[in-house]
Amino acid sequence: MWSIRALGRPASAAYGVLAVAVAVVALLPALRPAGWSLTILPRVGEGTQMAQVARKHDPGFRLVSVGPYDGQFYWGIAVDPIATGDVHQAFDEASYRYGHPLLGWVGWILSAGHARAVPAALLFVGLASLFAGAFLASALGRAGGSSGWEGLFVALNPGLVYSGVHFLTEPLSAAVLLGGLLAYRRDKLWLAAVCFGLLVLSKEQFALVPVGIAAWEVLRARGRLRDAVPFGACLVPAVLWWTYARVQLGDWFTSGSSAFTAPFVGWKHSLLDAGIGSYSTNSDRATFSEADLVVLAALVMLIAVGVLLALRLRGPVDAIYLLLAVVVACLAPNAVTLLRDALRNTSVLLTLVPFVAAGAALARDRHGLMEP
């Protein structure tokens, strides 16, 4: 029988604390110039419809003059959770944004529907998700027999840290994914399915996770067909929500996304753009492009190494990694050209790299036993 002690809770919790500490180090310098107002974190742009709506709900809402970003839409969903209020009308692509509402819904629940409490609620979710993700990654590694160092792939993951302090969904996605994998490892299939159902509502492409698990159960693990049923059933809530959003907003969530293209096109554009930019006559662009180029190159190679390891198909995580790697390979230039976006959009995939190396060690424990 497994036990809390077997999961190595103290050591795993240390990785969670480290993740939160890293986020706080990034958070404080971002808040100081804004008078410590949390409303600056979702980056709502001046002179936009979102700015008007934000100021309507909170007259003291802090706006940014340049660089508005996606956190504003999760704030919007937390204020207008089922797209029946006025906030969603200010979205650039409401049908797409409401395709992945989980973070906004959690923020709405924790804020008890009070718009002014939403920033604090979303920041709490981000930090809690970083803690949970690092803890679960370490615990999952320990379940496979390692020392739990896998928590570092969450705690020191730049894309997750950025997302955690700017009201973005990736830390929540990582925590739910890792929680589902740990439940699966412990042969708690329905609990895993619940986690994966929530995961799909955090970002649509994660529908590939239960598909990968189900395929592994039937094709590779020679499991019973009924063992795959929970992983098909977990897609039902997302399908029902997407259908409601289609009726309410007039389009499917796929209608507004421009984040995907043919494989490797986006990455090729990103690398070449950084290379060209490194010789720009603008000294700032040249300096930043030089740094971008080496980081992007290392990121691409790390993902590629993970793919090579996953091709061994020694465990279900390999199947999941390969499916999600296809999604990452198809990211469009607008999703990877900026280093911030490239790190963010690959951050959840990177949490799986150490488990791909473990392979068969993280296969489902059908006998209810856990390695110490």
DSSP string, 168-195: -SHHHHHHHHHHHHHHHHTT-HHHHHHH
Q: Helix, strand, coil proportions of the chain in percent (round to 5)?
A: 70, 0, 30
pLDDT class of 88 with cuts at 50, 70, 90: very high
Whether 367 is in a domain gets the answer no
Whether 67 is in a domain gets the answer yes
Q: What are the structure tokens assigned to 210, written together? A: 């239960």
What are the φ/ψ torsions at residue 6 (nearest 5 degrees)?
Answer: -65, -30
pLDDT of residue 10: 54
pLDDT of residue 221: 59
Structural contact between residues 91 and 137, judged by C-beta atoms closer than 8 angstroms = no
pLDDT of residue 11: 85
Whether 369 is in a domain gets the answer no
Whether 4 is in a domain gets the answer no
SS3 of 331, please? strand
Task: Identify the CA nearest to 194 among candidates 170, 228, 224, 230.
Answer: 230
Domain hosting 298: range is 9-362
pLDDT of residue 280: 94
Structural contact between residues 48 and 65, judged by C-beta atoms closer than 8 angstroms = no
4 has pLDDT over 50: no
Residue 32 has what DSSP assignment? G
The dihedral region occupied by 59, where left means phi > 0, alpha psi between -120 and 50, and beta the remainder, is alpha
Mean pLDDT of 307-333: 95
17 has pLDDT over 50: yes
Whether 1 is in a domain gets the answer no
Mean pLDDT of 76-90: 96
- How many CB atoms lie under 10 A from the CB of residue 145? 12
28 has pLDDT over 90: yes
**Any idea which residue has 């993951």 for tokens?**
157
Domain count, the chain: 1
**pLDDT tens-digit readout, 286-303:** 999 999 999 999 999 999
pLDDT of residue 370: 46
**Any idea which residue has 């692509």 for tokens?**
93
Whether 372 is in a domain gets the answer no
For the chain, what is the mean pLDDT? Answer: 92
More confident residue, 223 or 63: 63
**Any idea which residue has 């804020």 for tokens?**
111
| DSSP for 213-243, written as a single string | HHHIIIIIS---GGGGHHHHHTTHHHHHHHH
pLDDT of residue 371: 44
- Least confident segment among 143-152, 224-233, 319-328: 224-233
Mean pLDDT of 13-34: 97
pLDDT of residue 6: 47
Whether 41 is in a domain gets the answer yes
SS3 of 251, please? coil
Report if pTM > 0.85.
yes
pLDDT class of 222 with cuts at 50, 70, 90: low
Mean pLDDT of 121-133: 98
Whether 284 is in a domain gets the answer yes
Q: Where are the alpha helices (DSSP H) in 216-315?
A: 229-233, 236-249, 265-277, 283-310
